[in-house]
Amino acid sequence: MEEEILEKVKVLYEEKEIQTRIAALAKQIDDDYQGKKVVVISILKGAVFFTVDLVKRMKTPIELEFMQVSSYEGTTSTQKIKIKKGLEQSITGKDVLIVEDIIDTGYTLKYLKEYLLEQNPNSLKLAVLADKKERREVDVKIDYTGFVIPNKFVIGYGFDYNQMGRNLPYVGYIEMA
């Protein structure tokens, strides 16, 4: 069943397009954080691919952290956010960049931003690879956006369908019936 779905993936962004956009985001982030060190928080699991490619292109010194949050059951957002893995260090007084694969309804990133702001970082910014604006239900300021995407179920380059397809080198989509 899942293998059949992977055969139906249509390409939305080729690998080269993704890498070109990430290089531009890295430059923008470097310009904004000039002379500073940044704690980059990658949100597991989907943002790992984006995070690695982004920080490899950044000149800004970084500390890398990971968090895992969950708000989905299958393909549906529950609006109940659970932190499955928290930070291993304090971010108090530090410049922080959250790196997430996608924002759609906005509930997860709004919750995460409020949660991290309670820890008194010097600054907190958000970078997302994909912004599904037409699905937004709560307002969240995104500082760095890779692509604004249509309301489609995306797969590849970190996005998955039941944990499959993350390792596709492009971002594709599946027409869900």
Catalytic residue numbers read 104
Identify whether the C-beta of residue 26 lies closer than 8 Å to the C-beta of residue 57. Answer: yes
* Residue 74, phi then psi, degrees to nearest 5: 70, -120
Tell me the CA end-to-end span of the chain in Å, nearest whole number. Answer: 14
Distance CA 12, CA 163 (A): 19
Buried b (16+ CB within 10 A) or exposed e, 132-145: beeeeeeebebbbb
Q: Kindly state the tokens that stand for 135.
A: 């699905």
Q: Which of 109, 114, 118, 124 is nearest to 79 (CA)?
A: 109
Q: What residues contact residue 73 under an 8 Å CB cut-off, 6+ apart?
A: none
Q: Which residues, in sequence order, are bridge partners of residue 61?
A: none
Identify whether the C-beta of residue 13 lies closer than 8 Å to the C-beta of residue 171. Answer: yes
